């Protein structure tokens, strides 16, 4: 598996584990990620940068 894909999959697994343990905190992770993505898109950033920012919100 590509190391980048492996890292992204790991991030999503960790976020899902947090959500199972504490739904409020898990929901917070997803909301921060989505708000970050929206702001980055609104700022006119390139799609690859928007994706990185959304991942950083997790």
Mean pLDDT of the chain, nearest integer: 90
Mean pLDDT of 16-28: 85
> Is 26 within a domain?
yes
Pick the residue with more confidence: 27 or 42? 42
Residue 48 falls inside a structural domain: yes
Is residue 1, in this structure, part of any structural domain at all? Answer: no
Question: Does residue 3 form part of some domain?
Answer: no
Q: What's the total number of domains in the chain?
A: 1
The answer to whether residue 4 is domain-embedded is: no
Identify the residue whose tokens are 């919100």: 57
* Residue 2 falls inside a structural domain: no
**Assigned domain for 5 exists:** no
Is the pLDDT at 5 greater than 80? The verdict is: yes
Enter the pTM of the model: 0.78
Residue 31: domain span: 11-56
Cα gap 9→29, rounded to integer Å:
15
Checking phi first, is residue 44 left (phi over 0); if not, alpha (psi -120 to 50) or beta? left
Residue 24 burial class via C-beta count within 10 angstroms: exposed 0-12, middle 13-18, buried 19 and up? exposed
């Amino acid at each position: 598996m590509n190391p980048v894909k492996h890292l992204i999959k790991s991030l999503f697994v960790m976020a899902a584990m947090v959500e199972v343990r504490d739904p409020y905190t898990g929901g917070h992770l997803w909301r921060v990620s989505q708000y970050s993505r929206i702001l980055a898109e609104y700022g006119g950033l390139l799609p690859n940068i928007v994706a990185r920012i959304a991942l950083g919100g997790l």
